[in-house]
Amino acid sequence: MKRVLVLGASGFVGSHICNTFSEAGYSVIPATRQSSDLWRIKHISAGRLLNNRIVIDLNSSESVKRCIEFSNPDLIVNCAAYGVDSQESDIRESVKTNVFSLLDVLENAKGFGVKGVLYLGTSYEYGDHDGPIREDASLVPVSMYGASKAAAALIGKNHALALDLPFCIIRPFTMVGAYESPAKLIPQIIRACLTKQPVKLTRGLQKRDYVAVKDVTQACLSLVRNPQGLPNDCFNIGTGTATCLKDLGQRIVDLLGAGGDMLCWGELPYRTNEIMSNVSDSSKFYEFSGWRPSVTLLTALQEAIDFEKLRLGLR
Question: Domain holding 272: CATH number?
Answer: 3.90.25.10
Q: Determine the pLDDT at residue 84.
A: 85
Average pLDDT rounded to a whole number, residues 149-174: 97
65 and 165 fall within a common domain: yes
Q: Determine the pLDDT at residue 306.
A: 97
- Flag whether 289 is in a domain: no
Could you tell me the pTM of the whole model?
A: 0.95
- Flag whether 284 is in a domain: no
Q: Determine the pLDDT at residue 184.
A: 95
Q: Determine the pLDDT at residue 1.
A: 64
- Flag whether 141 is in a domain: yes
- Domain residues for the domain of 78 are 3-175+212-237
26 and 157 fall within a common domain: yes
306 and 195 fall within a common domain: yes
- Flag whether 287 is in a domain: no
- Flag whether 131 is in a domain: yes
Q: Determine the pLDDT at residue 47.
A: 84
How far, rounded to the nearest angstrom, does the alpha carbon of residue 13 sit from its chain's CA centroid?
A: 4
Name the least confident of 36-45, 168-177, 205-214, 274-283: 36-45
Q: Determine the pLDDT at residue 45.
A: 85
111 and 219 fall within a common domain: yes
229 and 270 fall within a common domain: no
110 and 200 fall within a common domain: no
DSSP the chain: --EEEEETTTSHHHHHHHHHHHHTT-EEEEEE-TT---HHHHHHTTTTTGGG-EE--TT-HHHHHHHHHHH--SEEEE---SSSSTT---HHHHHIIIIIHHHHHHHHHHHTT--EEEEE--GGGT---SSPBPTTS-----SHHHHHHHHHHHHHHHHHHHHT--EEEEEE-EEE-TT--TTSHHHHHHHHHHHT--EE------EE-EEEHHHHHHHHHHHHT-TT-S-S-EEEES-S--EEHHHHHHHHHHHHT--GGGEETTSSPPPTT---EE-B--HHHHHHH-----S-HHHHHHHHHHHHHHHTT--
117 and 148 fall within a common domain: yes
Tell me: pLDDT of 244 over 70.
Answer: yes
- Flag whether 288 is in a domain: no
- Domain of 108, CATH number, reads 3.40.50.720
**Count: domains in the chain:** 2
102 and 233 fall within a common domain: yes
35 and 164 fall within a common domain: yes
For residues 109 and 165, the answer to whether their CB atoms sit within 8 Å is: yes
Q: Determine the pLDDT at residue 265.
A: 98
Average pLDDT rounded to a whole number, residues 251-268: 97
- Flag whether 283 is in a domain: no
Share of the chain above pLDDT 90, in %: 93
Tell me: pLDDT of 189 over 70.
Answer: yes
- Flag whether 98 is in a domain: yes
Average pLDDT rounded to a whole number, residues 235-247: 98
203 and 268 fall within a common domain: yes
217 and 205 fall within a common domain: no
Q: Determine the pLDDT at residue 275.
A: 97
Compute the mean pLDDT over every residue in the chain, rounded to the nearest whole number. Answer: 95
Q: Determine the pLDDT at residue 213.
A: 98
246 and 168 fall within a common domain: no
CA–CA gap between residue 63 and residue 69 (Å, rounded): 10
For residues 148 and 94, the answer to whether their CB atoms sit within 8 Å is: yes
Tell me: pLDDT of 133 over 90.
Answer: yes
Tell me: pLDDT of 241 over 90.
Answer: yes
Tell me: pLDDT of 315 over 80.
Answer: no
